[in-house]
Chains A and B, each alone.
Chain A
Amino acid sequence: MDSIIHYASWFLLSTGAFFCAVGGLGILRLPDFYSRQHAAGITDTLGSSLVLIGLMLQSGLSLNAAKLAMILLFLISTSPVATHAIAQAAKQSGLKPKVSAEEDEA
């Protein structure tokens, strides 16, 4: 049982780190602000959740696991609201999404 938890935690941590790195690559390479937000959203929710759940499995049932659960809860509820607010502010200040490959007004 212990080794199952150990391997599960290892798997979750590596997958979480991988998704974070993919999101980072996306925020660098994607062409437009609105598409970069999708990349940032992946790291904020999926990557973070996997890493934090992996850490929670490491520490068993203890105060540290409870604190990690709280961090996870806060992160899941505040990151989407923050990205929503950023996107809404950008739209209201007139930033237009890049619709096709011919337009090139970044």
Chain B
Amino acid sequence: MFVAAMIGVLVTMLLALIRALLGPTVYDRILAVNMFGTKTVLFISVLGYLMGRPEFLDLALVYVLINFIGTIAILKFVRFGPVEAS
């Protein structure tokens, strides 16, 4: 059962990664990286249960906060720095 959830999360990570590599505009990439971050949180949580060690949850908690801060930082710097659309 955890294997099914893990496979779903890995597939989603792959799809988000493809969009981050392709994304014609810079905002596509930011969106894909934000989604990749959320999937990392899910990956770490499910991995903890899969391997029988749910102590990993501290890591997932940190990652939620860092993902949010990273996205906001990227947006601020993209808007006010010299911006190119690709």
The answer to whether A and B touch directly, with their CB atoms under 8 angstroms apart, is: yes
Q: Contact residues of A with B, CB < 8 Å?
A: 9-10, 13-14, 16-18, 20-21, 23-25, 27-28, 33, 36-37, 40, 43-44, 47-48, 51-52, 54-55, 58-59, 64, 67-68, 70-71, 74-75, 78-79, 81-83, 85-86, 89-90, 92-93, 95, 106
Q: Contact residues of B with A, CB < 8 Å?
A: 1-2, 4-5, 7-9, 11-16, 18-19, 24-25, 27-28, 30-32, 34-35, 38-39, 41-42, 45-46, 49, 54, 57-58, 60-61, 64-65, 67-68, 71-72, 75, 78-79, 83, 85
Structural contact, B19 and A36, CB atoms closer than 8 A:
yes
Partner of A75, one of B27, B32, B38, B83: B38
Partner of A67, one of B11, B35, B58, B83: B58
> Which residues of the other chain, B, contact A48 by a CB distance below 8 angstroms?
38, 41-42
> Which residues of the other chain, A, contact B58 by a CB distance below 8 angstroms?
67
Nearest neighbor of A79 in chain B, beta-carbon distance = B38
Nearest neighbor of A20 in chain B, beta-carbon distance = B12
> Which residues of the other chain, A, contact B4 by a CB distance below 8 angstroms?
13-14, 17
Known: A33-B27, A40-B35. 13 other contacts (CB 8 A): A14-B4, A14-B5, A24-B14, A27-B32, A40-B31, A48-B38, A51-B45, A59-B54, A70-B61, A71-B41, A71-B60, A85-B71, A93-B78
> Which residues of the other chain, A, contact B57 by a CB distance below 8 angstroms?
64, 67-68, 71
Distance in angstroms between the alpha carbons of A60 and B35 in the assembled complex = 28
Nearest neighbor of A45 in chain B, beta-carbon distance = B38
Q: Given contacts A13-B5, A51-B42, is CB(A86)–CB(B30) below 8 Å?
A: yes
Structural contact, B25 and A33, CB atoms closer than 8 A:
yes
